[in-house]
Structure formats: C-alpha cells, structure tokens
Amino acid sequence: MRAKAPPGEIARFLLFFFLRDEPLSQNNGALEFGRARGAMSSQAAGYLFLIVAATPFFYYLLVLFSTWRFFRHAESRLSPNSGFTPPVSNLKPLRGLDPEAYENLASYCRQDYPEYELIFCVGHESDPSVPVLEKLRRDFPDRQIRILFGSGRRAINDKVAKLVRMVSEARHEVLVINDSDVRVEPNYLRTVVAPLREPKVRGVTCLYVSTEDKTFTQHLQSVGMICDFFPGIFVARELDGIKFAFGQTIVTTRSCLKAFGGYEAIENRPADDLLVGRSIAQQGYEVELLPYAVKTVPDYDSFKGLFIKRLRWLTVMRHMRPWGHIGLTFTQGLPWCLAVLFAHPVDGIGAAGVLEKDAADCRVGRHGVCHLAADVWAAADSLAQRRLPDSRRHAGADRTKSSAEFAAIEFVLKPISRKAGYGRESGSGRRGDLRGDGGHPAGRTGP
C-alpha cells in the first residue's frame, strides 16, 4: 500500500517541479508526478470521508433547532378551548388482551369531556378482551360504551377492517382513534380535539412514552425513542411539515376520511396511521403534532422482542419512506466517530482531548466517549422532558446508564437497518411482504 504523503511534501515537490533550474528526466518526472498525484488523491479522499463523517454533527444541530422550534410555544398550543367540545366518537380496535388492559381502557372512561362515545370492536365473542369490556360497562354505567363483534370484511389488515365498521357505525363527526395499549389523562380528549377548531387543521396526533420501564430492555427502548425517534420526527416537521400520524392518537373527521376513500382504501396496506396522516395532508389540510404525550404499556420483555419491534418499524419505513430510510445512515453519530478514530488515529488524539473535557464538564468519567455522539441528544432530551406535559419524566435517570444504552442502540440500529431491507412481518395469522402497494398487516409508523 502506497504511503500517504504529507501536505508539506506535496508543496515541496510542486515548488521544485516549477522552479527547478534543470529539467527532470522523463522517467523521474513522471515518477514524481505520479507520486504527487496519488498523494493528492489520497488526501482528497480522506477529506471527503471526514466531511461525510461530520454529517451527523450537522444533523444534531438541526435536531436542536427543530426541537427548540417544536417546544417554543408549547403552552399556547396546548391550551384547550373550553368552548370547542364537539361530540366525539372514540374508536378502539382490539385483538387479545394487552398488559394492564383494564387500566388502559378505563382511562378513556374517566375523560373530562361533555359528550363522547366509546366503540370497541373485537374479532369474536370469545376474545380475551371481552370480559374486560363487560367490566368497563359495569364500572362506568354513565358512559356510552358499545362493543362490536367482527368486521364483516376479508382484509389483510384486520385492524383497519375493524375500523371500517366502527367508522360506519360511529354517531359523531369527530373521530378519535387509538390503539388498545394506550393510557391517557382525564384532559386527553379536550387537548387533542382542540386543534380542530381551526378549519385548516383536520388531523391531530401526538407523541407517546412508556408508562413504566421495568426491565433493561424496556428502558433501552425508551432511551431509543427519545434519542433516535423523536429527533427525527421534529426534523421532519421542520423540513416538510407533519404528513403522517401515530396509531397512539389519530384525530380527524368522518368527512375527511371519506374524501380519500376511508379506511376501505387502505385495508390491505401496512402502516395505516402513516397513510391516514399522508392522505389528510394531500387534501391540503394540516396535521398537527401536539407537544403532548400519551402513555403506552410495553408489550415486550426480551431483547428479541425489542429487535423485532425495531426491525418492523424500519421495514415499514424502508417501503413507505425509502429516502428517509437511507438517510438514517447519516444520523448515527457514534459509528462515524469510531470510523474516523480508526481511519485517522492522529485526529482521534485531538478528539480524545475534546472527550476528556466533555467528560470533566459532564462528570461522567470514563463513560464520556458515549457523549461525543450523545450530548446533543441529551440536550434535546432535557428540553423535551421539561416540556412534555403528562409524560413520564426521565430526568431522574442516571445519565451514565443512558449513555451506555445510547451506545447500544447506535450499534444495534445498524444491523437492524440492513436486515430491514429483507424483513417480513407476521400478524393476523398471515405472512407476506411489507410493500407500499399492499402487502401485509399493518401497524404503527413508529417503533
């Protein structure tokens, strides 16, 4: 392998070549010129690599700016309009029994809202969730609770097939749709319905956090959400606006759904929440992402479960937003930092000095390495945790532990991203490719 010539050697050769008193022989001149050209090409490639490796740093700056913009007027955006409380139909498709199912579903019966109905749809009368729904009826007799059995449709996406029926039987124009593992506060309906008072807004969605992390794997997922998923959402909002929704909360109107063909049009496609948000935006309306978080109960206990969850999300993203999937490569700072350290050990010495000061300032000792890529996320995390109302705060979590988990997520995300190109998902008893034109049972846009 040809050794890389330092810049000084190249400069000396150029001066000698142009200012020499006697001409070089043809062979020596060609040899020296070839060496200089090879050295310059090597250096150009090295600089290009450093520029590419620095891309995550600029992305982190964009994350900070986007996060600041998102939370800048959070209080005014979350002020419920007490005079705007249209009747609401809350639709919840169910299949099986989620962990802590009763508490999740009961939270919707405790809403501080004048008029709303709850419609549940299960596949059959022997579904394990039916006894829980009957208990809800007994415990909350004043609430309008309806239980539907079966969708009456043959569709790949069973969840969306149930939504088709629920929309057709809903009594009210305003629809609130959410998954069965979501738990909310009493002010939930007032908060998420309020943006619809603006005629230009016909879609509302919000962020979500875990109710409680009981295992290391669940804590790893929560750190990944804040360090990886939320920043990407804030950047997408800043650059292109919100053109998607999350299954944890979708608020829209019956007429808006009807305008793009309703859930019937997407019952054989994956990522129904993303498609609903996209269809609303394509009609010229705005989709509002609120600085408000609902809670979800983790449905996995092992690293394998987390791996499958992340793989599924990345597979959906690859097929539904291919350019966004490719862009993930340039948002992971830690692998790029390690690549630079390996390729340019001298530059790595300088980076080590920065790391040492960072470690001293942040009082994280030997774990400071993780913060070269993580400190910008930590700043955004701190801002988000202070401002996200009704969310589980992570402020008390040990920062060193979170840094180690961040590093784990960075390394785990890379092989998962590669595998996502070939992934298949299962659900509703069927298997098939996850394609944007109709493939497999759906699910959520997010992990």
Q: Compute the chain's Rg from CA coordinates.
A: 27
Q: What is the mean pLDDT of residues 102-130?
A: 95
pLDDT, residue 357, reads: 41
- The distance from CA 242 to its chain's CA centroid, rounded to whole angstroms, is 13
Q: What is the pLDDT of residue 81?
A: 64
What is the pLDDT averaged over residues 337-361? 56
- Residues 153, 263: Cα–Cα separation, whole Å: 12
State the virtual CA torsion across 230, 233, 234, 235 in degrees, nearest 10. Answer: 120
- φ/ψ of 26, rounded to 5, equals -60, -40
Output phi, psi for 92, to 5 deg. Answer: -135, 105
Highest mean pLDDT among 81-95, 224-238, 245-259, 356-370: 245-259
Q: Which residues contact 280 (CB under 8 A, 6 or more apart)?
A: 202, 203, 245, 252, 256, 260, 287
346: Cβ contacts below 8 Å, ≥ 6 apart: none
Bridge partners for 92 per DSSP: 120
Average pLDDT along the chain: 75
Q: In this predicted model, what pLDDT tens digit does every residue of 123-156 receive, in sequence order? A: 999 999 999 999 999 999 999 999 999 888 888 8
Distance CA 214, CA 222 (A): 11
Residue 341 predicted with pLDDT over 50: yes
CB 88 within 8 A of CB 172: yes
Angle between helices 333-343 and 371-387 (to 10 degrees): 160
The enclosing H or E element of 140 equals none
- pLDDT number for residue 277: 93
Query: 119-133, 260-274, 406-420, 421-435 — which is least confidently predicted?
Result: 421-435
On the question of pLDDT at 393 being above 50, the answer is no
Residue 99 to residues 159, 305, 367, Cα–Cα distance (Å): 18, 15, 35
For the purposes of burial, counting CB atoms within 10 Å of the CB of 11, is it exposed (0-12), middle (13-18) or buried (19 or more)? exposed
Beta bridge partners of 147: 120
Contact indicator for 254, 167 with CB cutoff of 8 Å: yes
Per-residue model confidence (pLDDT) at position 344: 66
CA distance 368 to 370: 5
In this prediction, residue 27 carries a pLDDT of 53
Whole-number pLDDT of residue 322:
75
Label residue 314 by pLDDT band (50, 70, 90): confident
CA 128, distance to chain mean position in Å, is 30
Structure tokens at 261: 């063909």
Angle at 277 between CA 276 and CA 282, to 5 degrees: 95
User: What pLDDT does residue 251 have?
Assistant: 97
pLDDT at 365: 35
Measured N-to-C along each axis, helices 371-387 and 230-240 cross at an angle, to the nearest 10 degrees, of: 80
pLDDT score of 34: 59
What digits encode the pLDDT tens for the residues 176-222? 999 989 999 999 999 999 999 999 999 999 999 888 888 888 888 88
Burial zone of 192 (CB within 10 Å; 0-12 exposed, 13-18 middle, 19+ buried): buried
User: How many H-runs (helices) and E-runs (strands) does the chain carry?
Assistant: 18, 10
Query: What is the pLDDT averaged over residues 108-117?
Result: 95
pLDDT at 31: 57
Q: According to the model, what pLDDT value does residue 351 have?
A: 52
